Structure 1
Amino acid sequence: MVDFLPTFPAFLLVFVRVTSFFLLMPLFSYRSIPTTHKVGLGFFLSWIMIFTFDAPVLEINGAYFLLIIKEAMIGIMLGFIAYVIMAAIQIAGGFIDFQMGLAIANVIDPQTGTQSPLMGQYLYTISLFFLLALNGHHLLLDGIYFSYQFIPLEQAWIPLGDASIPNYILSSISKMFGVALQLSIPIVGSLFLVDVALGIVARTVPQLNIFVVGLPLKLGVGFIVLIAVMSILMGAVATLFETMLTTMRGLMELIGGL
């Protein structure tokens, strides 16, 4: 315990970064996980991590409190960029819901407390199970662990004045919308063809009430196409996980000035 005392200020900084990362990162930030469990997990992870690299000996002074703010900002930024990339699944579900006629039937996500589209919530839940099956949560924890190779504890500032960091975050958000479009395009494209066919039927058979026939037809076609392309969607989601990790790495390199 005597040997640990000189590194105790560094341990507190590690604890701040890890718990700040848990605030926004997928899976670990959900309300279903009690706050005491999150704090306890962050404490033990920080305890393990502090003994795996050469922790600097820091003094608790005015500059140390600035380091605490810096560590909290790093954890929140890394968790936010991971959450933004994963939000592509929700956006894709919103596109699908709009075409299937389910855009008005949003549900409350019990994990985040926000409204989410029906198909978005369905795909997001399956993607989380897929993430756990691929041990993606281990990769997220590896990301926060290896962040100290890019952003050391004694680094006194985040180069927010550099335009590359906000540009990188904005490009990541735009990439998220592109990925969402790619995830939803098989179903959205099929439903667009259904709309075209219904328009032709409405012009050729005006006696047919197209609004009564169209909604159940689009629902049925949407679910059939969703089942048919589910394996392709999961392959795209696996690529999305890889994109999330590489995006986190790129952000850490920019913050660390590498």
Structure 2
Amino acid sequence: MLEMINLNTVPAFLLILVRVTAFFVTMPIFSYRTVPTQFKIGFGFFLAWIMFYTMQIPEIAFDGTYILLLLKETLVGLLLGLIAYIILSAIQIAGGFIDFQMGFAIANVVDPQTGAQSPLVGQYFYTIALLFLLTVNGHHLLINGIFYSYETIPLDRLIDFSNENIAYLVIETFNEMFIIAFQMSIPIVGCLFLVDVALGIIARTVPQLNVFVVGLPLKILVALFVLVIFSAIYIMLVKNLFELVLQVMQGLMQLFGGA
């Protein structure tokens, strides 16, 4: 059995395993607390084992450079998963904008997937987005991303982090994230702004009416009504968000590969 195993390829397999497992630490869906740790480790190991036999494996020696290669693989896996997670967090930001206008900003819920507090509407949006992602097999596309990353980021090559285009890509990604969050929230936030204007006019014309008592349930009712109408447009924006995730991951891999 030992004769069948080429010990010269063991360092390369460890590099593949490090990149895949680091990717699962930050990637949406697989990084959540609701996924057992044993499943993450086992799935990462078998996926790395499959990749090991489907790509050309260079012979890498255990030396000082190997430690740098391990750090490089860890950073590649973490950053690829993190950039996807950051873009999807635009949904939570949009929910925070809406909750602030609805009056739900003080009532956050604990997200069981991340363990952090999240806005009510943001959690509702995020759950629909994850279900949509699973429906269109978006998680397969994310796994394909880490699989084909070895074509642009070889195992035996270090990354030039002095490339300023990497910083520009991250800044542009943050910009796109806030733009999409604004697009998701503007229909409901705009309607609630008009409700505030109407309540302000009523408060000046009918002083006997307590707008603070009427305003909160009215804003909640209007927000829920607009939310139902807005659902179709929201799915379209989520689709654009997933396309942005794949484009940014591909662009980041090309920059890491020196393209």
Q: TM-score range by the shorter chain?
A: over 0.9
Given the alignment of the two structures, is residue 166 of structure 1 paired with residue 170 of structure 2, yes or no? Answer: no
Cα distance, 1:215 vs structure 2: 0.2
Match of 1:139 in 2: 141
Q: For 1:197 and 1:24, locate their aligned partners in 2 and report how far apart those are by CA, in whole Å.
A: 45
Match of 1:121 in 2: 123
Q: Deviations over 1:8-61 (max 9, x none)?
A: 211110110011011111101001111111010000000011111111111122
Aligned residues: 257
Given the alignment of the two structures, is residue 190 of structure 1 paired with residue 191 of structure 2, yes or no? Answer: yes
Distance 1:216 1:4, change over 3 A: farther
Q: For 2:95 and 2:79, locate their aligned partners in 1 and report how far apart those are by CA, in whole Å.
A: 25
Residue type at the aligned position of 1:99: Q
Q: Percent identity?
A: 59
* Of 95, 98, 101, the match for 1:99: 101
Q: For 2:239 and 2:127, locate their aligned partners in 1 and report how far apart those are by CA, in whole Å.
A: 14
Residue type at the aligned position of 1:189: G
Instruction: Tell which deviates more after alignment, 5-14 or 69-78.
Output: 5-14
Match of 1:149 in 2: 151
Q: For 2:53 and 2:161, locate their aligned partners in 1 and report how far apart those are by CA, in whole Å.
A: 30
Cα distance, 1:223 vs structure 2: 0.5
Q: Structure 2-normalised TM-score?
A: 0.97
Given the alignment of the two structures, is residue 60 of structure 1 paired with residue 62 of structure 2, yes or no? Answer: yes
Mark the runs of 5 or more structure 2 residues left unpaired by the alignment.
Answer: none
Q: For 2:6 and 2:250, locate their aligned partners in 1 and report how far apart those are by CA, in whole Å.
A: 30
Mark the runs of 5 or more structure 1 residues left unpaired by the alignment.
Answer: none
Q: For 1:7 and 1:134, locate their aligned partners in 2 and report how far apart those are by CA, in whole Å.
A: 36
Q: For 1:5 and 1:44, locate their aligned partners in 2 and report how far apart those are by CA, in whole Å.
A: 19
Cα distance, 1:149 vs structure 2: 1.1
Match of 1:70 in 2: 72
Q: For 2:186 and 2:59, locate their aligned partners in 1 and report how far apart those are by CA, in whole Å.
A: 53
Q: For 1:159 and 1:102, locate their aligned partners in 2 and report how far apart those are by CA, in whole Å.
A: 45
Match of 1:180 in 2: 181
Match of 1:204 in 2: 205
- Report matched runs for 1:80-91 at 5 Å: 80-91=82-93
The alignment yields a C-alpha RMSD, in angstroms, of 1.0
Cα distance, 1:174 vs structure 2: 1.7
Residue type at the aligned position of 2:197: V
Given the alignment of the two structures, is residue 226 of structure 1 paired with residue 238 of structure 2, yes or no? Answer: no
Q: Deviations over 1:141-166 (max 9, x none)?
A: 0000111111111112x221121112
Q: Structure 1-normalised TM-score?
A: 0.97
Q: For 2:106 and 2:171, locate their aligned partners in 1 and report how far apart those are by CA, in whole Å.
A: 29
Given the alignment of the two structures, is residue 239 of structure 1 paired with residue 240 of structure 2, yes or no? Answer: yes
Distance 1:33 1:4, change over 3 A: farther
Cα distance, 1:5 vs structure 2: 3.3
